[in-house]
């Protein structure tokens, strides 16, 4: 596992990763997804993150996986469906309900949640912008044009709430044409 800025989740890997020897490792060094170091091998995944990259950056992420011969999976659990925007209206209430249970707890969150609801509104705004920025399957297909040494599976999947998620999975082709 890696992040562009691992300092932002300092200590999180101890809480969420299985014990040593499980096969899952954590990179404490920053990792640029457009130029993953060659020593970091294995499938690459981006969960609810690909929409943060401009098309040029997104293309470079895909090109880097192809260049390294590593499988890549992109999964977004939000989208530009018409009901996604109204769905964001409930986010401030969810944030207000969940803030006391977040760990590590910060007392400064309380006034920014309940007196002046900055935190719920910022999270709702971030969610709304994320919905609007998610690549459509058609846009993902355009990003992989010319990356012909891979098989690309791009589509949607159902969610437990109204709407659908979007995915892109790329795997290297073998000499027979299939991975």
Q: What value does the mean pLDDT of the chain take? A: 85
First to last CA, the chain: 24
- The answer to whether the CB of 55 falls within 8 A of the CB of 141 is no
pLDDT at 176: 57
CATH code assigned at 130: 3.40.50
Whether 1 is in a domain gets the answer no
179 — pLDDT class (breaks 50, 70, 90): low
Let me know if residue 70 belongs to a domain. yes
Tell me the whole-structure pTM to 2 decimals. 0.79
Long-range pairs, 20-27, Cβ under 8 A, ≥24: 25/1, 26/1, 26/2, 27/1, 27/2
Domain contains 72: yes
In the chain, how many domains are there? 1
Residue-range definition of the domain harbouring residue 109:
6-172
In a domain, 178, yes or no: no
In a domain, 177, yes or no: no
- Would residue 131 count as lying in a domain? yes
């Amino acid at each position: 596992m890696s992040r562009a800025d691992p300092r932002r989740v300092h200590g999180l890997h101890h809480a969420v990763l299985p014990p040593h020897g499980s096969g899952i490792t954590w990179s404490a060094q920053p990792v640029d997804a457009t130029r993953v170091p060659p020593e970091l091998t294995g499938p690459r995944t981006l969960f609810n993150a690909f929409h943060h990259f401009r098309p040029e950056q997104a293309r470079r992420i895909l090109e880097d996986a192809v260049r390294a011969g590593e499988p890549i999976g992109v999964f977004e659990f939000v989208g530009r469906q018409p009901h996604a925007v109204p769905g964001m209206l409930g986010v401030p209430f969810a944030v207000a309900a969940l803030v006391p249970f977040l760990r590590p707890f910060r007392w400064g969150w309380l006034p920014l949640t309940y007196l002046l609801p900055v935190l719920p509104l910022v999270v709702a705004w971030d969610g709304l912008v994320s919905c609007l920025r998610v690549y459509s399957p058609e846009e993902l297909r355009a990003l992989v044009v010319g990356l012909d040494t891979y098989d690309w599976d791009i589509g949607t999947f159902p969610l437990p709430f109204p709407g659908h998620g979007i995915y892109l999975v790329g795997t290297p082709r073998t000499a027979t044409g299939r991975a």
